[in-house]
Structure 1
């Protein structure tokens, strides 16, 4: 623990030093000006020095840079702004004291200095510093854990597919570090892939954890049987089981799950309460993959109604979460109609381009308050 004392009057410094020494506060440094204080704080290792300072006792009336201006400067420096500043002053001007506190001061002490009052103010300032340091460490810990969780969640997302007759690529823009959107695909055999886009209810840590749980269930279900009716039923069973043990916040998600077979040139899908997806078939026909059952996890039993889309020469499919629709609607465009029109144009999607960039403007991406995810599938 270190206490810094700033006063242009050396007699005042002597008095405060003696009082601190007698009270057991031996680790302190004195400065006769604010400039000397900043020279010390801006040393070769300013962040290390700042961590060692617990309280600053500072006079208000000083030449060149007074205590109030010095306090303002401290507040402008992120590594110094949390150090409590207790003003020591002989001024009886209430307006000046208020100005000092408004500048960022924690407390004030009137001269002549009384030992009991000095130590009481000091104890309050030290408690405040301890609490700020504790909260800062907790925030750093949470930030690090969120960063690790984000990396784990991102690792669950699938890599793009660039085959001769099939492209599957996704863009993902979470509203927060952790999100409730998920996409995944898996190759079943030489000609067949299974793919899903889902949007978990809610935001943040809880939704992302449920997402990661469902991701594990999804992988097992696809390995067992990739048929849409089986996979959606399995996901619903596990979501219902999760909600059975979690009575406070029932979770559910919307999703489009599909299989695409490039040999038989068909898609089989189930849309469980998800926004309508749009497909351009053979360059001239638009197909809508509308919701044909409820969201997954709503009810113990889910009625599945698998649909099939056939294509002859080409297919372009665009699947979006509701965050994309909301971002489009903010700019007075009807999301569904806009995407329906957009899918009629062949997307020049390469390894360098992102589907999200082909659909949304930079302003729309920045304005989004929800997670945004787009899957683009092109088959020939």
Structure 2
């Protein structure tokens, strides 16, 4: 049922109230009445009239002061006010309009004029409210559409990055796995052959201590004793290099697993380790960049249902940002003045007592971030890095992956001069629908 129009009549003259009330009720409107400014303000707050007819000359606070108080009150500021007064001076009318009134009726008034003005301003008020509601609704729709557009954009960027990375890694893995396998297989034979040749030389020197002078000269020239000592070490180093290449190849495949379409069981520690392996060259430090220590405290985590490639992208973004923080020029002063200890990234994992969620904490003792930066780090396109060194998409995509793709939580806390901590919570079994 539609609420009838309520009009508040404010006048200290009972006759005026009676005449106006009868005229208003004759149009099906409901009349509310007050005889002074204080009671008018009080009644307006709880009755919320659609329009106020306000006398200027009243005992106590006058109409001008009453109007001023109504207009500074958020509850009553939008209610139209029409002044009624015998003051006919232009300055009085101007003063009333400056107070926020929408119109001015001079006494003695004509009922027809009053009703006509009421109709006009009620219609204007209704159109204004309708327009405001339409604008608010449209603004909310546009805001929602913009948010959906940003989210879709992030999803497309993320999918494209993972697709390109998956193809790149697959190509690299194919190209390096074959030569690695060939070298590893050949190296085992070389090691066996070398061992046999060295044993043969040792046996010959034992059986034939008196050798030809020409052979003695060649032994001295090639430094046979050094070769005998160094060649096994060289082969051992080559084996270590091959194993290192195998680890890198495995880390690449683990990092960029192309399981975009469906979630799989995955051990979080494998993703973290593969990330650290790929960033190992940056952790060593070179030039002005400090060497960064990594401390891992892994809990006994069960495998979780997830999209491994996407989670690995999150770990990469956070750890790479921590390394970047140590590379910033301002970190050198921080290192000398506040934190003389070695730059460190601390990674801790745990599972809650109900075994429903796993938590990953990645913390550094870098230069930290001020509150205004922390408040915006998950915003799309926000970055504090120089042009060409950051897109502002890494942490925004990380938030999208953790919160919207995995029904998890991600938060950041940072203290300037102390460091930054990212906390990630992921359900062990999540609903990915």
Q: Give the TM-score normalised by the residue count of structure 1.
A: 0.49
Please state which structure has a larger fraction of its residues in strand: 1
Normalised by the size of structure 2, how large is the TM-score? 0.44
The higher relative CO (CA closer than 8 Å, separation ≥ 6) is in: 1
Which protein shows a greater Rg?
A: 2
In proportion to residue count, which structure has more helix? 2
